[in-house]
């Protein structure tokens, strides 16, 4: 299927690893250009070797307003066709283990910068009557996950913001959607198994095997598979899909909605 992404320009945050990297690589394979953002400069340069003429790099912490401004400046007046909003999550903790400082940090790293980035870039898309925004959150926005109260709580706030904005600008040609990954074979899942290991005394390997056994499809997801759906949402073909939260979790979420 031709997704009509060739020669379009996308910003991908968290592009040096995991879902962000998989989406960036998939966009490049479709002939798109990207501005890749992440803290790991060396990994970004490695990504750039895949298509040196179609990859621009912004090395820094996207949650930092100065890095965000650098990104906006680098984009300039060019048309931005799509944006992938993605970054790592907070530490794994139970409710009673958290401190107020943890909650303040979670607000900053999970919600505040996404609002700031959205307000900076979505008006540019509206000006061109076209745009696709995909937020990478978590399946925990539909069904809370053990030891991830900070992630579950603040990501739900992101869903509220995205859903509201999608309705406010529905007629502009700009769509916003959320992908909620469940257990995937990425480095990010290790912090969950490590936390559970500290609580139970079981090895990370044992916990990983037990977790996989609980997934209805019987396997962890792969970042490349996740990226294939993200690309469709980033394409012109998804024009009738906006304000949606789609979980990719191997059937783990039991919610009807």
pLDDT digits (tens, 9 = 90+) for 92-127: 999 999 999 999 999 999 999 999 999 999 999 999
Decide the pairing of beta strands 131-136 and 245-248.
unpaired
Per-residue pLDDT band at 207 (split at 50, 70, 90): confident
CB 67 within 8 A of CB 60: yes
d(CA 21, CA 14): 7
The mean pLDDT of the chain is 94
CB 36 within 8 A of CB 24: yes
Per-residue pLDDT band at 257 (split at 50, 70, 90): confident
Greatest Cα pair distance, the chain, in angstroms, is: 55
46 pLDDT higher than 80: yes
Residues near 210 by beta carbon (within 8 Å), at least 6 away in sequence: 202
Q: What is the predicted pLDDT for the residue at 79?
A: 98
In the chain, alpha helices (H): 18-29, 41-48, 65-75, 100-106, 113-127, 149-168, 190-200, 204-214, 223-233
Q: What are the backbone angles phi and psi of residue 39, rounded to the nearest 5°?
A: -80, -25
d(CA 232, CA 1): 10
Structural domains present in the chain: 9-182+222-245 (3.40.50.720), 185-220 (no CATH)
Instruction: Give me the percent of the chain exceeding a pLDDT of 90.
Output: 82
Residues near 221 by beta carbon (within 8 Å), at least 6 away in sequence: 181, 182, 183, 184, 185, 248, 249, 250
Per-residue pLDDT band at 206 (split at 50, 70, 90): confident
Q: What are the backbone angles phi and psi of residue 230, rounded to the nearest 5°?
A: -60, -40
């Amino acid at each position: 299927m031709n997704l009509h992404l060739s020669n379009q320009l996308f910003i991908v945050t968290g592009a040096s690893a995991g879902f962000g990297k998989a989406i960036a690589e998939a966009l490049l394979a479709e002939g798109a250009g990207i501005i890749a953002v992440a803290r790991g400069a060396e990994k970004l340069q490695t990504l750039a070797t895949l298509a040196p003429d179609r990859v621009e790099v912004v090395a820094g912490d996207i949650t930092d307003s100065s890095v965000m401004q650098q990104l906006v400046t680098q984009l300039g007046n060019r048309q931005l066709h799509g944006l992938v909003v993605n970054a790592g999550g907070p530490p794994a903790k139970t409710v009673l283990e958290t401190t107020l400082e943890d909650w303040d940090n979670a607000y900053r790293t999970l919600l505040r910068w996404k609002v700031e980035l959205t307000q900076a870039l979505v008006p540019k898309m509206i000006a061109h009557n076209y745009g696709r925004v995909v937020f990478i959150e978590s399946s925990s926005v539909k069904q809370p996950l053990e030891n991830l109260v900070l992630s579950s709580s603040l990501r739900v706030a992101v869903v509220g913001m995205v859903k509201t904005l999608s309705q406010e600008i529905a007629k502009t040609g700009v769509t916003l959607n959320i992908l909620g990954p469940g257990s995937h074979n990425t480095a990010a899942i290790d912090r969950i198994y490590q936390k559970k290991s500290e609580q139970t005394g079981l090895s990370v390997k044992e916990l990983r095997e037990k977790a996989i056994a609980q997934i209805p499809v019987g396997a962890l997801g792969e970042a490349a598979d996740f990226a294939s759906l993200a690309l469709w949402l980033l394409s012109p073909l998804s024009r009738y899909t906006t304000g949606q939260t789609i979980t990719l979790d191997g059937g783990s979420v039991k919610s009807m909605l």
